[in-house]
Amino acid sequence: MRRLVAIVVLSLFAVSSALCSAAPAAEPVRIAYSSVNPHALLVWIAEKRGLYAKYGLSSTLVYVPGGSVAIQALVSGDIDLAQLTGPPGVIANMKGADVVYIAMTDDKMGYQLVTRQDVKRPAELKGKRLGISRFGSSSDFSTKVLLKKIGIDPKDVTILQIGNETQRLVALKSGGIDGSIFNAPFGAEAKKLNFNILADAGALNIPYFNTGMCGSTQLMQKNETRMLNFLRAYLEAIKIFKTEPEYTLKALAQFSKVNDHELLKEAYEYNRARIPDVPYPSVVAMQAVVDTLAESEPKAAKADAKKFINDRFLKKLEDEGFVQKLFGR
């Protein structure tokens, strides 16, 4: 009897081993996010809910502060995909990198220009110090766009590299800078700190490739299945974000390390309406980036915005019925 049991156990082990060895190995994907906001939360939700694994991926998430630094990591091959605004990828592409965007979750600029209490009008910005993350980053680009929108020449202010939003907020509180831009909505925080919101990109309705996912064309050509599986996980994370508010708010608190429910709810509601179910990269939003860069970069004046986006992966998921099944359309 014991011999029979031993034979059965060994047989089951052999079958199990055969099945495990036959199972396809998970494909690695290294993903960077350059900001801590509801849009970046999407790649984090996909990780926490096991969506990458669900679609056959072994994921590694890394926070890389500043779009320009994230692009360097992408171009060097240290990461496969990056969550970024449009300018860093476009600039890299024009310098010879094969960076393109495969998804976009916001087609309008979402920054607000926040200043100390004593700076209440645009004209009072002249001679003042404004903080950004890094030169060449989205915060640098957007600060200059917003300044021009309210009639201020960027040359009339001093722009300083301070760091991420948390570091810029500390500098603003301490008086190290007179203003900075922050991801909207910042109204509740500004009210608590007695700061002024001098300009609101959302209210100004500025077209802009605000945030999306980008990678190298070469990687995408070699690993189409990996890209499709990433987007399957990404789309499912969007569904969770939009349909599970209680879970998403808890995830946003953990992700951002912010415990103020009022601030979290404000950020969630603001972005819930802006993130599309299917995040196709917008040519119009990308053209706005190209047009602004053309003011200082001659190559951009002749660039076609379509060169910087690739929507074929999302189209393929729609064509195969994945999107319809996921969202019940």
User: Quick one: 281 and 136 in the same domain?
Assistant: no
- Cβ neighbours of residue 223 closer than 8 Å, sequence gap 6 or more: 27
Question: Higher model confidence: residue 6 or residue 86?
Answer: 86
Residue 17 lies in a domain: no
CA distances from 154 to 3, 126, 142, 298 (A): 84, 9, 11, 19
pLDDT at 329: 67
User: Quick one: 129 and 267 in the same domain?
Assistant: no
User: Quick one: 124 and 254 in the same domain?
Assistant: no
Pair 279, 103: CB distance under 8 Å: yes
Strand order in the sheet with 129-132: 158-161, 129-132, 179-183, 111-115, 196-200
User: Quick one: 148 and 196 in the same domain?
Assistant: yes
Count CA atoms within 13 Å of residue 196 on its CB side. 14
Q: How many domains does the chain have?
A: 2
CATH number at residue 304: 3.40.190.10
pLDDT at 40: 93
What confidence category does residue 126 fall into, taking pLDDT thresholds of 50, 70 and 90? very high
What confidence category does residue 193 fall into, taking pLDDT thresholds of 50, 70 and 90? confident
What confidence category does residue 24 fall into, taking pLDDT thresholds of 50, 70 and 90? low
User: Quick one: 214 and 319 in the same domain?
Assistant: yes
User: Quick one: 135 and 234 in the same domain?
Assistant: no
pLDDT at 49: 97
User: Quick one: 226 and 77 in the same domain?
Assistant: yes
Residue 143 lies in a domain: yes
User: Quick one: 211 and 317 in the same domain?
Assistant: yes
Of 204, 231, 258, the position where a domain reaches its end is 204
Give the predicted TM-score (pTM) of the model. Answer: 0.81
pLDDT tens readout for residues 246-271: 999 999 999 988 888 888 998 899 89
The rounded distance, in Å, linking the Cα atoms of 143 and 115 is 12
User: Quick one: 94 and 178 in the same domain?
Assistant: no
pLDDT tens readout for residues 281-319: 999 999 999 988 887 778 888 889 999 999 999 999 999
Which domain, by its residues, includes 276?
26-107+207-327
